Amino acid sequence: MEHDIKHLYIGGEYVEPHSADRIDVVNPANGQRIGSIVDGDATDVARAAEAADRAFRTSGWAELTPKDRAGYIRRLADAYVERGAEMARLVSSENGMPISFSRLVHEERPARYYRYFAGVADTLELERTRPTSTGYAIVRKEPIGVAGLIIPWNGPQGLIAWKLGPALAAGCAVVIKPSPETTLDAFLLSEAIEQAGFPPGLINIVSGGPETGQAVVDHPLIAKIAFTGSSTTGKIIAARAGAQLKPVTLELGGKSAAILLDDADLDDFGARILEVCLPNTGQQCTACTRVLAPRDKYDQVVELATEVLARVPVGDPADPKSVFGPLVSARQRARVESYIAAGLQEGARLTTGGGRPAGLEGGCYVEPTVFRDVSNDMRIAREEIFGPVLSIIPYDGEEEAIAIANDSAYGLSGAVFSRDVDHATDVARRLQTGTVGVDQFSIALEAPFGGYKESGLGRELGPESVDSYLRIKTIYRAGSAPSA
């Protein structure tokens, strides 16, 4: 079944685009075209920004109490659940995510995110008073206006919810620009948005490629940008937004480390390698693709990782038995293969993988790959590969392990494995990274998530994410503050 989306979602309507250009959507499991989308231009973005600005100023949304806004967000969650199974299948066909994983992250979880942010809105306090030397001040939080939400392909609906939920809770209007690889699912979401009954123009969706995203960043009516994607693109967005003094939330790349301390339970680590080190076929920014192992246990760790990765079921993402699927595109596969070649050229040794799996030649597959004899100055240890490639690095002593983990341009995630969880937590405190797991790695929606260094700016999730869509106004008054 092909999905040819010929419209944009602007002003509460499905409208004809200004742009006549189109982008094909291809299933990376077999190279077959599954649909097409509009490649929106700056005129289309301007139309969406104007609709969002109009809704923000005139619909009354920004003036609703946060509790009233929460009701709409809960209706969106309910409408999403009605489409959850279809959403999981659609995303799997767009980006090659194995259906078992897509069901986990796309069938119900985004609805959970929306309900969480509705709960945050229920308790959101927008005004406080405090005494001053001349009287008192009313410190007020107000919605920032129109937010531009630029979404990646590797977890599209969850990452829309991470941004859309807090933006709506704060009282903002939005323009969503999904990745061209995963836009079909965004228009399925538009049906849920319609069902939830938001004011027309409050939520707009403009499809397209990089130039469309640039137009979102540049438009003067869009007051804030939230972006998840590569650090290279994030820097460009930060520079363009900075020229307008436009705030940004950037969740960018990573090259995170899983440190196995000397007393780590290796069997436990072996059971968690895929979820900690290579989730989503390694196409996840939080993946701990550097494994740091004590030198006296190095061979044992290499053997363990090799055994686990060598038996991972790789196959058609529509097959529930597949654990790894294809990479998102032929271009991404070529990128991953170039890093495998670079690792070999720099002296690392393969213990499993490195090629293309037999029998899957029609898709963008790469074998699960493990490198040993890796030093932290190699490209495979320093640059984000975004594929099923694991680098195992030896260390001598805990101080060196911490130094190696911190010797990175990135700082998004990490993990520390030890039988002594308090000691592992002490080590986690010393890592230059925004999020660390002890004996595991998982993101909880109740706590802020984001990176240090080239892994980004700002935080998503938790109540802190709502604050990023609010700005602060101070009103000074003479006299004493009224009693509560």
Q: Calculate mean pLDDT across residues 71-87.
A: 98
| Residue range 177-204, pLDDT digits in tens | 999 999 999 999 999 999 999 999 999 9
Q: How confident is the model at residue 484 (pLDDT cuts 50, 70, 90)?
A: low
What pLDDT does 1 receive? 60
| Residue range 142-166, pLDDT digits in tens | 999 999 999 999 999 999 999 999 9
Quote the pTM value.
0.96
Q: How confident is the model at residue 483 (pLDDT cuts 50, 70, 90)?
A: confident
What pLDDT does 238 receive? 98
* Active-site residue, 63 included: no
| Residue range 369-410, pLDDT digits in tens | 999 999 999 999 999 999 999 999 999 999 999 999 999 999
What pLDDT does 369 receive? 99
Same fold across 3-252+455-474 and 257-444:
no
| Residue range 240-285, pLDDT digits in tens | 999 999 999 999 999 999 999 999 999 999 999 999 999 999 999 9
Q: How far apart are CA 330 and CA 336, in angstroms?
A: 10
Q: How far apart are CA 274 and CA 333, in angstroms?
A: 19
Q: What is the DSSP string of 413-441?
A: --EEE-S-HHHHHHHHHTSSSS--EESS-
Catalytic residue among 94, 251, 367, 384: 251
Residue type at position 367: E
What pLDDT does 142 receive? 98
Residue type at position 185: D
Helix ranges, 146-209 (H): 156-170, 184-196
Count helices and strands (H / E) in the chain. 16, 23
CATH code, residues 3-252+455-474: 3.40.605.10
Q: How far apart are CA 26 and CA 15, in angstroms?
A: 24
User: What percentage of the chain reaches a pLDDT higher than 70?
Assistant: 100
Q: How confident is the model at residue 480 (pLDDT cuts 50, 70, 90)?
A: confident
Q: How confident is the model at residue 481 (pLDDT cuts 50, 70, 90)?
A: confident
Provide the residue ranges of all domains of the chain, joining segments of one domain with +. 3-252+455-474, 257-444
What pLDDT does 261 receive? 99
Q: With respect to CATH, is domain 257-444 assigned 3.50.50.60?
A: no
Q: How confident is the model at residue 440 (pLDDT cuts 50, 70, 90)?
A: very high
462 vs 481, residue with greater confidence? 462
The overall average pLDDT reported for the chain is 97
Q: How confident is the model at residue 219 (pLDDT cuts 50, 70, 90)?
A: very high
C-alpha pair distances (Å), 256 with each of 59, 289, 366, 437, 441: 44, 6, 21, 11, 11
Q: Could you tell me which of 425, 314, 397 has the C-alpha nearest to residue 361? A: 314
What pLDDT does 482 receive? 84
Q: What is the DSSP string of 3-45?
A: EE---EEETTEEE--S---EEEEEETTTTEEEEEEE---HHHH
| Residue range 328-359, pLDDT digits in tens | 999 999 999 999 999 999 999 999 999 999 99
